[in-house]
Structure 1
Amino acid sequence: MGIEPNKLDYLVLSKGNFEILIRKLLLVRRYRVEIYVAEGSVRACEWTVKYKGSPGYFSQLEEILGDGLGSSEEQAPCLMAVNIKTDTVTKGRLLGVACVTPGEYAMSVSEFTDDDLLTELETITVQMAPSECLVLPTDNEDYKYLKKVMERANVTVTAVKKTNFSTEGLNQDLNRLLKFKDGQQQDANAFPEMSKEVAMTSLAATIKYTSLLDDNTNFGRFQLTTIQPDCFLHMDAAALKALNVFPELGDTNHAPSRSLYGLLDRCRTQHGKRLLAQWLRQPLRDINLINERQDIVELLMNNTQLRQQLHEDHLRRIPDLQALARRLTRKKANLQDCYRIYQAINRLPALLQCLAEANDATLHSSLAEPIAELNNDLEKYQQMIEATVDMDAVERGDYLVKPSFDEQLQSLADQLEILQSSAEKELNKAARELGLDAGKTIKLESNPQNGFNFRVTLKEEHGLRGNKKYTIIDAVKSGVRFKNSALESITEEYLQTKSAYEKEQDKVVTEIIGIASGYAECLRGLSLQLSRADVLLAFALAARAAPAPYCRPALSRAPHELLLLGLRHPCLEVQEGVSFIPNDVVFRRDSCVMHVVTGANMGGKSTWLRAAGCAALLAHAGAAVPAARAALPPLRALAARLGAADCERRAHSTFMVEMLEAAAILRTATPDSLVLIDELGRGTSTYEGCGIAWAIAEKLATEIKCFCLFATHYHELTRLASLHPNVIVNSHAEASVVDQQLVLLHKILPGPATQSLGLHVAKLADLPDSIIQYAEEKQAQLETNLFEVESAFKSEDNTEGQKLILDFLHKCKEIHNTISSDDEMLIEINKLKQQMLQKDSKYVQALMSTL
């Protein structure tokens, strides 16, 4: 690193470190990057921007970093643009969203009205997983919320000029970029998506930002579709984070115990890894499609031979066909890429035979048949490679065109062979002169830069001393390299001939690449089918590798119950030294839609909630579930508010983060949703927090009527079960105190927790005894024992007593409104108190004795 007065600081990097830096800036830190190149004299500081890249689009940087910049990532870079306008009919927010994934030649749009928190936009953002979002340069309230949505999803927000969102000339641009079907009118206006006016403004912004029209290899390649979020399980960024679906950005350690993606990522192909990430972001809602996946996963779980053959023999040898197809399309491929594709196609017959032996109808129709059709379409590609590529040279590590394919090539190849023979004659001659054994103690070597040379070991070097016929090139540990004038003459002619051969070959290779690019669409289709097989196999492998059996979830269209019996957390159970204790989750419309969960800290409440969320996600993705039995309805949404953390860079406290997430849940939850809430209401006063938690829990259970697990330390919330029988039930994480020591049983049982065990947890943390003792004294002073009173009686007694107290309070309010004298008011209230006590309610008497 250099620092000079009045000059810019600089850092010198090797090419390898420079590439690593750019990758981290783009893919991990999500920065925009500009690379300046000196034009003319460096001292004159004539620097101009040569390359640009951003998280959502970095095709320009592929020139210096290679085409595989994003090929090994979880998902191809996606660019989103959002435009917000006022709906003239409803006066609400009309959003136009466009997503472009250049690596997959995909364009998708959506237009919809959204609420003030932009919850629908967040759902689409989670499903599409853009790396960057283009917006207008404005700071109104809607765009402030938009930026908050993108921040939660780790999406870089880029403001672009308003003119970028202009649709002028868009139809002409799309006519050049879109791929039209045979017989289809060659006019973009024929697409139904064109009627979405606001979405089209966003699409125009993405096209201009990515400069797609500057690369003619993009012409006639893109597919235009409509984003359909309702086809997938709705999840927001908070749910993804709460359930640890993906590792943190930049975390390359995809350990099975750290995220669902890490647990399931047993894919053999790079395109399989990307599809796995997509499936976890887009769990299905269509029962037929889910069952199709689960049929294959179940088959693979039960068929050990098929599972091992696919994993060990077939899929592990498949290259990234999606990346190779893109290289072909962009005319960036070489002969080696063509041969790698050829190798993959050659393996398809054995793969198809393996699938056929399973004799399964779903496997045949869903995977084998599409792969077989694509294999037939690629038959001529195989024939072309076999006719043009020198297979003997491939075995030596060279990728050359067959000399016999072209007369000029054949002539040059013959000359090279003659020169090779002449060099070998010189080797024999030198061996005789030096008294060495040709091919053993003296060898003939060649390299692309310097051509031919002789080499002997350092032990034989003495024979060259003083011999003027030979010139020593260098002496290294591996031996001494040298030459004579005749070999030097042969080398010069050989290099010239080889250069001519390579130039002639490049012409042929260009023709081969041009023909091969016509198969890019087939290769992308083949990549999709093989990646589907890879992900389904990964689901089966993860299930079979678990310490306890997984089960196939049963999805029913009747949304009356959700059962997860013997449920385990898939990531925690694979941790070393963990013996996981399974629990049940039972929801039935006629008896229970909400569990209010109490119990000691570290008792297993949060794990129970997360396990239920993971199971629901896995079931909708088409995977097996870590449970003894699972039966679910097709859910519309999975919402979660788990954990507590502030966010200084967004100026959000823990309580503010909780409230934002709770507000989003209340807006999106429906009766066919699963909601997970843990410790809501912290960060403010005890009674205020309890009141908020009570109100939210009651609304979810009685108005929205969604399935909900509500974990809390507010024991007052257990009263909801008596107020709303057959709707809300109490559950608790069992724990015991043995010899003043807390024993956590990690078992979820019916009923409320009998006591709060926070002080025992504090003892486990080695808080000083004086602090513990003083805390116990303050607890005794502050505690009303309302919870202990309620737990001592039957729910009917509690309900009757609560009605008496409520009636007493109403009468007190009437007295307050009618009597102005404090003394008279106190006399009347005491009369009411005596009347209430005469009712002989055990609940009231026990409560009054605690005051």
Structure 2
Amino acid sequence: MSSIINNSMKPPTTVRIFDRNDYYSVHGSDATTAAKEVFSSLSHIKKMGIEPNRQDYLVLSKGNFEILIRKLLLVRRYRVEIYVGEGSKNEWLLKYKGSPGCLSQLEEIVGEGLSSSNDNGPCLISVNIKTDPVTKGRLLGVACITANDYQISVAEFTDDDLLTQLETITVQLAPSECIVPLTENDDYKTLKKVMERANITVTKLKKVDFSTEGLVQDLNRLLKFKDAQMQDANAFPETRMGAAMVSLAAAIRYTSLINDSTNFGRFRLNTIKAECYLHLDAAALSALNVLPELGDNTHAPARSLYGLLDRCRTQHGKRLLAQWLRQPLRDINLINERLDIVELLVENSQLRLQLHEDHLRRIPDLQALARKLTRKKANLHGCYRIYQALQRLPNLLQCLADANSPTVHSTLSEPISELNDDLEKFQQMIEATVDMEAVDRGDFLVKPSFDDQLQVLHEQLEKYQISAEKELNKAARDLGLDAKKTIKLENNPQNGFCFRVTLKEEQSLRGNKKYTIIDAVKGGVRFKTNALDSITEDYVQAKVNYEKEQDKVVAEIIGIAAGYSECLFCLSHILSRLDVLVSFAVAASTAPNAYTRPEVTEALDEFVLRDVRHPCLEVQEGVSFIPNDVFFKRDSCLMHIVTGANMGGKSTWMRSCGIVALLAHAGCLVPASSARVPRLRALCARVGAADREEKGQSTFMLEMIESAAILRTATPDSLVLVDELGRGTSTYEGCGIAWAIAEKLATESKCFCLFATHYHELTRLPSLHPNIIVNSHAEASVVDQQLLLLHKIVPGPATHSLGLHVAKLADLPDSIIEYAEAKQAQLETNLFEVESAVKTLDTTEGQKMILDFLQKCKQLQETATSDQIIMSEIRKMKDNLLKCKNKYVESLLAA
């Protein structure tokens, strides 16, 4: 193996697996990785070879192999290579490989579980960065391939040095893997950090892969053209995006789309329109717990917003829900269209229950089934499942018609009805070809009458069945038993036709040479005769011929059915949309407290939430949630400086506000008594403390990266949430940074902002910027030396810090608490003396004098004829200034 495979030449994020026919093996460091993923232990690892070259290895069954593949690709986001031994020398050759964004070669190995276990499906993004010849800025070409949906999306744009827009696109598209050219310049280092924050695997390819040679020919084969459209990819405006086409060429090569003819004429090419959706970055998704962590299949309601809202009945509905949460809308008409339907479903409980409990729960994953049809990998069972779903559509349409809603009719009923008409011939084909009687027995067979040759072979099989039954009757008479009662005829793949009697009747067989006993088990004794053996041989041969002939017919049926895959894709999209809207309604109607319809407005004058709650926290057992209000009004209150005790509810209040804004833009009812939400462009968040030591990023570094991105992104139509900025460095530095960022957001960005802090100095900002910044605090009080957290947000700054009381709640030793109280008193005294000293200076009068001095200097510069005259006049003015005896001026001039 070592002569062919060298593990030292591969990155640790690539795992090599060896197919040994009956089992699989993993070696070296890969064995450790596999053992942790499959067994959560290293006890299954064994040693092979002799010292000093002994090597770890791990043996995997087929079931454990599939578990490992899923975890590596979907959770760890690793790459996988599968080797097969070939030739007399048993050389190991790479047979299959897969990566998080390219799973096509492993679909057959792992089966449906691979695609259905991933909410988003495999998605690959390709990026290249070059200098814009016009602006001299960073020009990014982006291409995204979503194989399950047969979608190719491209974009070309200039970006800042933090690649803010690229991060937005990656959040919206949720790729599993990003391919980039093999280079080490600073822009690609920044790109890698962006992808790491979003947990996206980065794969570097040779620069030669990023070449557009042959791209147009490839697109001509892959793209789906309209009937009257010129069959030339150059007709698409997207092909004029040069940088994007470079990325697309690399993505097509990497995914080997051209190698699979079933991809031809299937893909749609479109432009990524990030501006159509609310801007979210990875930090905002994490801060608001929008999606569950990778590998978390519990989707517990209290863990994430997705888990709370996921009442979907279909797999494609679950995937769409995740997409809607990553891509909240910005078009108010589209938002209200969703809200109209959700509100209707909440108010009409009968309609909601019928859809959720009856119709939708019986719909299979039509998207996955349609893809199998397209790839010619479907079978009769899959076709029958589609047929069953289509049979239920008339009742579903009647249910929607009872809603008597124009919005429901135009967006759901009408397109479903049209597709149902288009798929009528598919239903007729299934009825004409599938043996419905066999389906009742659990077999999916072609009707023998459908094909003349099948009919002949079927009659042969029936003839052999009758002959076997005659042998049964003969044996029953011979043994004095009751045919089909005490002696029965069986047919199984291992033994063919055979007889079975109970253990009690076994004595009648003893010494009878006419019969050959096969085995004796708990269910009875199985035996046969020579005549039955002969019948079995003829039956097995006829069955083989029948199955070969049936396979030909099934292939024809699948080929015809594949022509309906486009309609099935469209139907799955509409049904998934209905599924998510019903899911929104079910989540809202089953919440502990009522949800309300938000009013999303074009005007940016105010943002008001009444009695807002955190939807995930309020469903926790034993929680009695205390609602709060959020009030923003332009020209009076754009920013809240939020202070108060730890655990007092500041972060929860901020997150609740962010979640309501996101839900409103996604078209869902919100956990509040009323909500007036302006149409936002961006939702940014800097919440929580977490470092990434493995990536060399401290808490403070992460704060600064996320803060820089917020300052680049925030505009008047943005909502910004900042919690405890400035930790991880010195107190004064941290306070200074927090002050500067808060002031810039309030006065320059002019965005809606909730800014929580423990730096009490920031509560002075409202006096410096009245009608822009206000103070708010989480109310708490001390009763009998016990801290009482009221979880109510009220106007004004917190009057004092309650950190020592929180420390008492954490059972910090009394000696530490007492020493901390003494030290606090000492420090507060020193700070008071410093502040008092500053206040004794006549700052107001001194500042006016300095301003007057500077204005005279400016005038002097304009009128004086030489530098000597200017310096002479400045010295005179300085002497006159000092004669005023103002301490503020003296302290400045003495510095």
User: What's the TM-score once normalised by structure 2's chain length?
Assistant: 0.89
Residue by residue over 1:488-544, the C-alpha shift from the partner in whole angstroms, topping out at 9 and shown as x without a partner, is 111111111111111111111010000000000000000000000000011011111
Shift in CA distance, 123/834, structure 1 to aligned 2, threshold 3 Å: closer
1:12 aligned to which of 59, 72, 84: 59
2:391 aligned to which of 343, 346, 358: 346
- 1:7 positional shift: 6.2
Aligned equivalents of 1:537, 1:210: Cα separation in 2: 36
Aligned equivalents of 1:789, 1:627: Cα separation in 2: 46
* Equivalent residue number for residue 29 of structure 2: none
Equivalent positions of 1:744-763 (< 5 A) are 744-763=789-808
1:322 aligned to which of 364, 367, 372: 367
1:126 aligns with 2:171: yes
Alignment check: 8 A CA contact 1:97 1:202 kept = yes
2:78 aligned to which of 31, 42, 48: 31
Aligned equivalents of 1:559, 1:810: Cα separation in 2: 37
1:207 aligns with 2:252: yes
Aligned equivalents of 1:806, 1:455: Cα separation in 2: 108
Aligned equivalents of 1:807, 1:608: Cα separation in 2: 42
1:440 aligns with 2:485: yes
* Equivalent residue number for residue 863 of structure 2: none
* Equivalent residue number for residue 198 of structure 1: 243
* Equivalent residue number for residue 616 of structure 1: 661
* Equivalent residue number for residue 844 of structure 1: none
Aligned equivalents of 1:388, 1:630: Cα separation in 2: 56
1:676 aligns with 2:721: yes
1:625 aligned to which of 639, 662, 670: 670
Aligned equivalents of 1:802, 1:746: Cα separation in 2: 39
* Equivalent residue number for residue 699 of structure 2: 654
1:805 aligned to which of 843, 847, 857: 843
1:280 aligned to which of 296, 300, 325: 325
Aligned equivalents of 1:428, 1:724: Cα separation in 2: 102
Q: Letter of the 1:18 partner, please give it.
A: F
Equivalent positions of 1:379-458 (< 5 A) are 379-458=424-503
* Equivalent residue number for residue 626 of structure 2: 581
Residue by residue over 1:239-266, the C-alpha shift from the partner in whole angstroms, topping out at 9 and shown as x without a partner, is 0001001111111221000000111111
2:814 aligned to which of 769, 772, 796: 769
Q: Secondary structure at the match of 2:322?
A: helix
Aligned equivalents of 2:505, 2:888: Cα separation in 1: 119
Alignment check: 8 A CA contact 2:301 2:307 kept = yes
- 1:568 positional shift: 0.3
- 1:648 positional shift: 0.5
Q: Letter of the 1:412 partner, please give it.
A: L
2:208 aligned to which of 163, 169, 184: 163
Q: Secondary structure at the match of 1:9?
A: strand
* Equivalent residue number for residue 689 of structure 2: 644
Q: Secondary structure at the match of 1:60?
A: helix
* Equivalent residue number for residue 841 of structure 1: none
- 1:464 positional shift: 1.8
Alignment check: 8 A CA contact 1:715 1:787 kept = no
Shift in CA distance, 803/479, structure 1 to aligned 2, threshold 3 Å: farther
Equivalent positions of 1:430-829 (< 5 A) are 430-783=475-828, 804-805=842-843, 807-808=845-846
Aligned equivalents of 1:321, 1:198: Cα separation in 2: 35
Residue by residue over 1:32-85, the C-alpha shift from the partner in whole angstroms, topping out at 9 and shown as x without a partner, is 1110000023xx340100001010001011122225521331111111110000
1:186 aligned to which of 231, 246, 249: 231
Fraction of identical pairs, as percent: 75
Aligned equivalents of 2:829, 2:884: Cα separation in 1: 21
Residue by residue over 1:124-170, the C-alpha shift from the partner in whole angstroms, topping out at 9 and shown as x without a partner, is 01001110101011111000000000000100000001111101111
Residue by residue over 1:396-441, the C-alpha shift from the partner in whole angstroms, topping out at 9 and shown as x without a partner, is 0111100111111111111111211221222222222222222222
Q: Secondary structure at the match of 2:289?
A: coil
Alignment check: 8 A CA contact 1:812 1:829 kept = no
Aligned equivalents of 1:787, 1:747: Cα separation in 2: 30
Deviates more, 1:765-774 or 1:478-487: 478-487
Aligned equivalents of 1:545, 1:164: Cα separation in 2: 52
Q: Secondary structure at the match of 1:347?
A: helix
Aligned equivalents of 2:410, 2:746: Cα separation in 1: 43
* Equivalent residue number for residue 340 of structure 2: 295
Shift in CA distance, 477/239, structure 1 to aligned 2, threshold 3 Å: same
Shift in CA distance, 364/814, structure 1 to aligned 2, threshold 3 Å: closer
Aligned equivalents of 1:8, 1:452: Cα separation in 2: 50
1:238 aligns with 2:283: yes
1:358 aligned to which of 370, 392, 403: 403
1:256 aligned to which of 279, 301, 305: 301
Aligned equivalents of 1:180, 1:416: Cα separation in 2: 48
- 1:201 positional shift: 0.1
1:22 aligned to which of 60, 69, 90: 69
* Equivalent residue number for residue 104 of structure 2: 59
Aligned equivalents of 1:161, 1:392: Cα separation in 2: 57
Residue by residue over 1:585-643, the C-alpha shift from the partner in whole angstroms, topping out at 9 and shown as x without a partner, is 11111310111100000000000011111111111111110000011111000000000
* Equivalent residue number for residue 139 of structure 2: 94
Shift in CA distance, 747/785, structure 1 to aligned 2, threshold 3 Å: farther
Aligned equivalents of 1:122, 1:215: Cα separation in 2: 31
Q: Letter of the 1:665 partner, please give it.
A: I
Q: Letter of the 1:31 partner, please give it.
A: Y
Q: Letter of the 1:555 partner, please give it.
A: V
* Equivalent residue number for residue 10 of structure 2: none
* Equivalent residue number for residue 34 of structure 2: none
Alignment check: 8 A CA contact 1:329 1:517 kept = yes
Shift in CA distance, 428/813, structure 1 to aligned 2, threshold 3 Å: same
- 1:810 positional shift: 8.5
Aligned equivalents of 1:688, 1:814: Cα separation in 2: 32
Q: Letter of the 1:525 partner, please give it.
A: C
Q: Letter of the 1:441 partner, please give it.
A: T
- 1:829 positional shift: 12
Aligned equivalents of 2:851, 2:818: Cα separation in 1: 40
Aligned equivalents of 2:74, 2:241: Cα separation in 1: 32
Shift in CA distance, 289/834, structure 1 to aligned 2, threshold 3 Å: closer
Aligned equivalents of 1:496, 1:806: Cα separation in 2: 107
Aligned equivalents of 2:669, 2:169: Cα separation in 1: 26
**Gap runs ≥5 in structure 1:** 791-797, 819-824, 837-851
Alignment check: 8 A CA contact 1:453 1:483 kept = yes
Alignment check: 8 A CA contact 2:520 2:526 kept = yes
Q: Secondary structure at the match of 1:777?
A: helix
Shift in CA distance, 2/498, structure 1 to aligned 2, threshold 3 Å: farther
Alignment check: 8 A CA contact 2:841 2:887 kept = no
- 1:812 positional shift: 10
Alignment check: 8 A CA contact 2:434 2:444 kept = yes
Alignment check: 8 A CA contact 1:97 1:111 kept = yes
Shift in CA distance, 754/830, structure 1 to aligned 2, threshold 3 Å: farther
Deviates more, 1:448-457 or 1:705-714: 448-457
Deviates more, 1:367-376 or 1:445-454: 445-454
User: What's the TM-score once normalised by structure 1's chain length?
Assistant: 0.93
Residue by residue over 1:3-27, the C-alpha shift from the partner in whole angstroms, topping out at 9 and shown as x without a partner, is 2224653321110110110111111
Shift in CA distance, 803/219, structure 1 to aligned 2, threshold 3 Å: farther
- 1:468 positional shift: 1.5
Q: Secondary structure at the match of 1:69?
A: helix
Aligned equivalents of 2:407, 2:830: Cα separation in 1: 60
Shift in CA distance, 114/401, structure 1 to aligned 2, threshold 3 Å: same
